[in-house]
Amino acid sequence: MSDDNETIRKSVGTPAVFAEVYDRHAPAVFRYAIGRVGHSHADDIMSETFLVAFNRRASFDLSVVDARPWLFGIATTLIRKHARVEARAWKGLVADGAAAVPFDAIAAVGTRIDAEIAVKEIAAALRKMPARDRDALLLYAWSDLDYAGVAEALGIPMGTVRSRLNRARHTLRRASHRASRPEQEVDHGRTDVVAETA
């Protein structure tokens, strides 16, 4: 099997070859999309991602071997257009996720009630997070891309990925702490980026 860049190069002259890229990566794009927009829209995001990718294949950077960051970047752009659907999907995350919190996670946070509260707080934190931080966080958590891959997907420098991830993780951490220590007053101000990235 040839590398992605080789396949995409061939597909410029022989378009049907592009189906190989689909066969290779469609399931991974679907897995990423399902977390963000739920079952009912993940099929559409998967399909649309490859239509856009096919139309843009001539602009793919052939020096990059792995096409996944490029594909996940397209999928992320498409998901942004479904922001309202995404918000509803997190309602589902609260309902489904709370029931499916793995055993060791329950052990970590104490009881199932605590785990359910933690999931609820995380879903709420995701919903309120700035879109650029959420994109970086969910690409990193759910698409198996590393920092460089996320940077490539979002078209931003790696240092920016790091600062966005720091900020997003700080927000999540604060949310899960809020859940586990409800008696504590939690500061609702913004993340101290300087401290986080120091």
Of 58-97, binders to another protein (CB under 8 A) are 58-59, 77-78, 81-84, 87-93, 95-97
Size of interface with another protein, in residues (CB under 8 A): 83
Shortest Å distance, C-beta 152 to another protein:
14
Quote the tokens at residue 91.
């309602």
Q: Note whether 181 binds another protein by CB under 8 A.
A: no
Among the listed residues 9, 10, 35, 112, the single contact to another protein using CB under 8 A: 35
The CA–CA distances, whole Å, from 135 to 12, 74, 175 equal: 30, 12, 18
Among the listed residues 13, 63, 185, 194, the single contact to another protein using CB under 8 A: 194
Q: Note whether 16 binds another protein by CB under 8 A.
A: yes
Spatial separation of the C-alpha atoms in residues 57 and 75, rounded to whole Å: 15
Spatial separation of the C-alpha atoms in residues 50 and 69, rounded to whole Å: 13
Label residues 153-186 b or e (16+ Cβ within 10 Å = b). bbebeeeebbbbbbbbbbbbebbbebbeeeeeee
H or E segment and range at residue 170 = helix 158-180
Q: Which is nearer to another protein, 64 or 105 (CB)?
A: 105
Q: Note whether 147 binds another protein by CB under 8 A.
A: no
Among the listed residues 6, 24, 64, 160, the single contact to another protein using CB under 8 A: 160
Stretch that binds another protein, among 1-9, 23-31, 63-71 (CB under 8 A): 23-31
